Amino acid sequence: MKYSGIGGQAVLEGVMMRNKTDYAVAVRKNNGEIVIKKEKQKEKRAFGKTCRKIPFIRGIFSFVDSLVLGMQILEYSASFYVEEEEKQTEAKGKASDHAEMLISILLAVALAVGLFMLLPMFLVSLLRPVIQNGFLISLLEGILRVIIFLAYIFSISQMKDIRRVFMYHGAEHKCINCIEHGLPLDTEHVRESSRQHKRCGTSFLLFVMVVSIFVGIFLPKDILWQRLLSRLIMLPVVMGISYELIQWAGRTDSKLADIMSKPGLWLQNLTTREPEDEMIEVGMASVNAVFDWKAWQENELGIVYEAEKEAAHDL
């Protein structure tokens, strides 16, 4: 498998694919039509550009970029399925849109902090009278965090609407795997490709959970507010380490990388589903809008398809 550099995200009845600063969102409307929106991410300031190249720091910026873009494209895809009388998009000013986006992101962060930080801390604090060992306390807190995360993923995977999003998630992975394994991007070959991918966001979050266990061993363990504050402060560090790990694992086929990726790939059995052919078509449309996969396969893998051979011969 060869690293292509493209990544993506499933949205409501659609798929987003990103190639460097370009991204495309393909959504299938109720009438069966596939709508494609292609844009370029806004240019970053010089400071931001520099930080996005520094190991262990670039992961923080990458996560924020993905979170903001993800919220934007989810809102875009959902707009196709909102009742006409509820559509207020045209009437709202840009300031209102940005405010709503900021509120949504803050609520999501608050939910994550409460569910994956405060709850494990509270549950472990109940054991303080019987467990005095600081190392064991940190270990139990980390294990509880992973358990809660797995329970959360399992719970949302049972929801009907989320299952369809996870099917598009599977289509996204299959399209990328198809290209990176040197296969032509068509329905037949995409369907045969794996729906699991090493660089998946699900795997990244699991890396964050596991890395936080090791980092938590060295953080304060006694006073609750100090425990919470220290973990919040160290969260960017955890994210930076996790980002480097998943990028390394996604670019190599070494045995160690395969072993480290196994838990994340297993977890993707919950966050991805086998897609329908119509969903695969949406994924392929998104790829084709933002990535010249034939040129990439020719340059990186030496694969030239018959149509291209004939065209070169005619010239």
pLDDT digits (tens, 9 = 90+) for 171-222: 999 999 999 999 999 999 999 999 999 999 999 999 999 999 999 888 887 7
How large is the greatest C-alpha to C-alpha distance in the chain, in angstroms? 81
The verdict on pTM exceeding 0.85 is yes
Among 42-56, 189-203, 223-237, top mean pLDDT goes to 189-203
pLDDT above 80 for 14: yes
The domain containing residue 113 runs over which residues?
A: 6-80+94-308
- Is residue 87 one of the residues assigned to a domain? no
> In Å, how far are 3, 118, 198, 205, 240 from 253, measured between CA atoms?
10, 37, 10, 21, 22
Residue 130: the pLDDT is 85
Name which residue leads in pLDDT, 175 or 48. 175
- Is residue 210 one of the residues assigned to a domain? yes
State mean pLDDT over 130-143: 86
- Is residue 86 one of the residues assigned to a domain? no
Percent of the chain with pLDDT over 90: 54
pLDDT above 90 for 150: yes
State mean pLDDT over 53-63: 88
Residue 80: the pLDDT is 83
Residue 116: the pLDDT is 86
- Is residue 314 one of the residues assigned to a domain? no
Residue 220: the pLDDT is 80
Q: Determine which of 49-58, 95-104, 230-239, 244-253 has the lowest per-residue pLDDT on average.
A: 95-104
State mean pLDDT over 257-263: 94
Confidence of residue 104 (pLDDT cuts 50, 70, 90): low
Q: Determine which of 74-88, 94-108, 117-131, 236-250 has the lowest per-residue pLDDT on average.
A: 94-108
- Is residue 315 one of the residues assigned to a domain? no
d(CA 251, CA 61): 20
Q: Determine which of 89-98, 165-174, 228-237, 251-260 has the lowest per-residue pLDDT on average.
A: 89-98
The Cα angle at residue 26 between residues 84 and 191, in degrees rounded to 5:
130
Q: Are 136 and 206 in contact (CB under 8 A)?
A: no
Name which residue leads in pLDDT, 101 or 170. 170
Q: Determine which of 38-42, 238-242, 269-273 has the lowest per-residue pLDDT on average.
A: 38-42
- Is residue 89 one of the residues assigned to a domain? no
- Is residue 104 one of the residues assigned to a domain? yes
- Is residue 85 one of the residues assigned to a domain? no
Query: What total of structural domains would you count in the chain?
Result: 1
Residue 307: the pLDDT is 62
